[in-house]
Amino acid sequence: LIMMSILLSMVCQSKPLTNSLYHKLLSLPIADNLHVDSESIGAASVDFGLIIRETPVAVLRPSCPKDIATLIAFTYNESSIPLTISARGCSHSVQGQAMARDGVVVDMASLGNRWFRTTVSWSWSLGHYADVGGQQLWIDVLDETLKHGVAPVSWTDYLYLTVGGTLSNAGISGETFRYGPQISNVYEMDVITGTGDFLTCSPNKYPELFYSVLGGLGQFGIITRARIALGQAPKRAKWVKMLYSDFSAFTKDQERLISHHGRDQDEALDYVEGLLLMRRNTDSWISFFSFSDHQRLISLVTEHELLYCIEVAKFYDGRTQSTVDKDLEMILKDLSHDPEFMFEKDVAYVDFLNRVRVNELKLRRQGLWNVPHPWLNLFVPKSRIADFNVGVFKNIVLKNNITTGLVLIYPMNNDKWDDRMSAVIPDEDVFYTVGFLHSSGFEEWQEFDLQNKEVLLFCEDNGIKVKQYLPNYSTEREWMEHFGPKWRTFKESKALFDPKMLLSPGQRIFNRN
């Protein structure tokens, strides 16, 4: 404790924390779990984006949820304490959203598997469901649920994200059109609010807290447990990619594939995504294709400049491969892709879900994972996606010719989202997610940042009402516009559950220091 006191006082010298505050922090029963060494502080000052750096005064490594409640209750009850608190999942945010300048970062990973290791249960009303820790990675949830022959139904592309982190945003992927985002598949949560209260919430119990927290950008409480929906786990995935040079044929087919009208189970796909293929980002879409196919594609892209690729999957289990092939043939038969450029794979379900990991490991080996990520993720209304194609893909992205990394584009159904939740989407039955997943050198991220701003400006000037996913704003006006009619409820919930505005300051919504 003496060592900690010296270290904490050294760190605090340049910070607005008073001597009395850190002595009080040290007198808390969680003092042993507060870390101020440079390694802990350094790790909590950066994120996957490697663009923003905010230094906290301490990192809490809780050994149980009560440690988090103790920290929050102390901060809440001590008047005039300039301390904020941020839960940090894996810090896979890209704009400092999980940081807390001069505050305390709660390193959720330290809860490990001691708290709410995934438990699978069954009830008449819910069928199979799992209770999972807010700190858990989706890959661990998958591993555990598969032991029972079941799995969550809605995913993210990448599974090394935490449950609490994705539920604070939405959690989207190619399954969203059918099952909704991950936030639409939650039955109940344990949340420690900004007053240090530990509440179990659901649509029937503290519904304001339940709906506010889902998509709530960490503003109302720290999720320590979530009860999530499960379905029977398939064993394999039939995975197909199809190429288009014509944008309207591409979007028409994507929209057709996500419309479930008149489709029974066998006729529906499980996963629909899409991406942009350009000469400059060939590396990011190479892994799916064989060497010779990839060469063919590169020459095709060189000829067309811009191609669009629909990516679909159908999961299966008991049925034979030929039955799935027939189902798929029926589903894809009237599409307008070029049949010469249709590529198929049959892979284990787990390998399909964990597909991004292969790329991650490859990029890590090449030293290209821990680099800046000036990402921009948007939801674009269906009615303006053609204008977006011309104005953004053709006139900005192709012209600037700097875009490396994946560019995702795929549609979702509005009716799979719950408007009572905090997450914000366009007001149309169908909307697209467009993700510019740039990676850049340490010196060049500003170039991408400028392009992102150009894209947003184009949308604003042309009245394309996009919503940012994983939003990044800094003024109240921007946040008001982002939330639109939900802003009032969002603010009221903040006043109710985090009245002193302690939580997730890195989102820069209420606590813009």
Residues annotated catalytic, as ranges: 92, 157, 273
Residue 60 Cβ vs ligand FAD, minimum distance, rounded to whole Å: 13
Pair 413, 263: CB distance under 8 Å: no
Among 33, 93, 195, 251, binds ligand FAD (CB under 6 A): 93
Q: Which of 95, 94, 90 is nearest to 108 (CA)?
A: 90
Q: Where are the alpha helices (DSSP H) in 375-414?
A: 385-388, 399-400
Give the range of 123-131, 215-223, 343-351, 445-453 binding ligand FAD by CB under 6 A. 215-223
Among 56, 103, 171, 180, binds ligand FAD (CB under 6 A): 171
Site for ligand FAD in 450-489 (CB under 6 A): 470
Give the range of 70-78, 150-158, 235-243, 493-501 binding ligand FAD by CB under 6 A. 150-158
Q: How far is residue 434 from each of residues 214, 406, 444, 454, measured CA to CA in Å?
A: 21, 10, 22, 15
Among 33, 84, 169, 354, binds ligand FAD (CB under 6 A): 169
Among 37, 143, 157, 208, binds ligand FAD (CB under 6 A): 157
Pair 45, 506: CB distance under 8 Å: no
Among 55, 162, 185, 452, binds ligand FAD (CB under 6 A): 162
Residue 483 Cβ vs ligand FAD, minimum distance, rounded to whole Å: 16
87 binds ligand FAD (CB under 6 A): yes
222 binds ligand FAD (CB under 6 A): yes
Among 33, 110, 154, 173, binds ligand FAD (CB under 6 A): 173
Rg (CA), the chain: 23
Q: Which is nearer to ligand FAD, 57 or 161 (CB)?
A: 161
Q: Give the number of residues in contact with ligand FAD, rule: CB under 6 A.
A: 35
DSSP β-ladder status, 271-278 and 342-348: unpaired
Site for ligand FAD in 20-49 (CB under 6 A): 48
120 binds ligand FAD (CB under 6 A): no
Q: Please provide residue 284's backbone torsions phi and psi, each rounded to the nearest 5 degrees.
A: -80, -20
91 binds ligand FAD (CB under 6 A): yes
Q: How far apart are CA 491 and CA 479, in angstroms?
A: 11
Residue 264 Cβ vs ligand FAD, minimum distance, rounded to whole Å: 28
Among 43, 50, 90, 501, binds ligand FAD (CB under 6 A): 90
116 binds ligand FAD (CB under 6 A): no
Any residues with CB less than 8 A from the CB of 502 and at least 6 apart, and which? 72, 75, 76, 83, 84, 85, 194, 511
350 φ/ψ sector (left φ>0, alpha ψ -120 to 50, else beta): alpha
507 binds ligand FAD (CB under 6 A): yes
215 binds ligand FAD (CB under 6 A): no
Q: Which is nearer to ligand FAD, 192 or 328 (CB)?
A: 192
Strand partners of residue 276: 308
Kind plus residue range of the DSSP H or E element containing 42: helix 38-44
76 binds ligand FAD (CB under 6 A): no
Q: How far apart are CA 512 and CA 116, in angstroms?
A: 33
Q: How far apart are CA 128 and CA 396, in angstroms?
A: 47
Q: Which is nearer to ligand FAD, 49 or 301 (CB)?
A: 49
Q: How far apart are CA 126 and CA 229, in angstroms?
A: 8
Give the range of 30-38, 168-176, 388-396, 421-429 binding ligand FAD by CB under 6 A. 168-176
Pair 223, 329: CB distance under 8 Å: no
Kind plus residue range of the DSSP H or E element containing 298: helix 291-304
Q: How far apart are CA 508 and CA 513, in angstroms?
A: 8
Q: How far apart are CA 275 and CA 435, in angstroms?
A: 9
Residue 497 Cβ vs ligand FAD, minimum distance, rounded to whole Å: 12
Q: Which is nearer to ligand FAD, 169 or 281 (CB)?
A: 169
Q: Which is nearer to ligand FAD, 274 or 506 (CB)?
A: 506
98 binds ligand FAD (CB under 6 A): yes
Give the range of 18-26, 214-222, 244-252, 339-347 binding ligand FAD by CB under 6 A. 214-222
Q: Which is nearer to ligand FAD, 162 or 245 (CB)?
A: 162
284 binds ligand FAD (CB under 6 A): no
Among 12, 34, 36, 172, binds ligand FAD (CB under 6 A): 172
Coil, strand or helix at 388: helix
CA 267 to chain centroid, in Å, comes to: 29
65 binds ligand FAD (CB under 6 A): no
Q: Which is nearer to ligand FAD, 165 or 411 (CB)?
A: 165
Q: Which is nearer to ligand FAD, 472 or 507 (CB)?
A: 507
Helix 19-27 vs helix 2-12: angle between axes, to the nearest 10 degrees?
150
Q: How far is residue 117 from each of residues 65, 112, 225, 296, 484, measured CA to CA in Å?
A: 13, 8, 10, 47, 38
168 binds ligand FAD (CB under 6 A): yes
Pair 72, 194: CB distance under 8 Å: yes
Residue 222 Cβ vs ligand FAD, minimum distance, rounded to whole Å: 4
Q: Which of 298, 5, 354 is nearest to 151 (CA)?
A: 354
Which residues form the interface with ligand FAD (CB under 6 A)?
48, 86-93, 97-98, 108, 134, 156-158, 161-162, 164-166, 168-173, 217-218, 222-223, 470, 504, 506-507
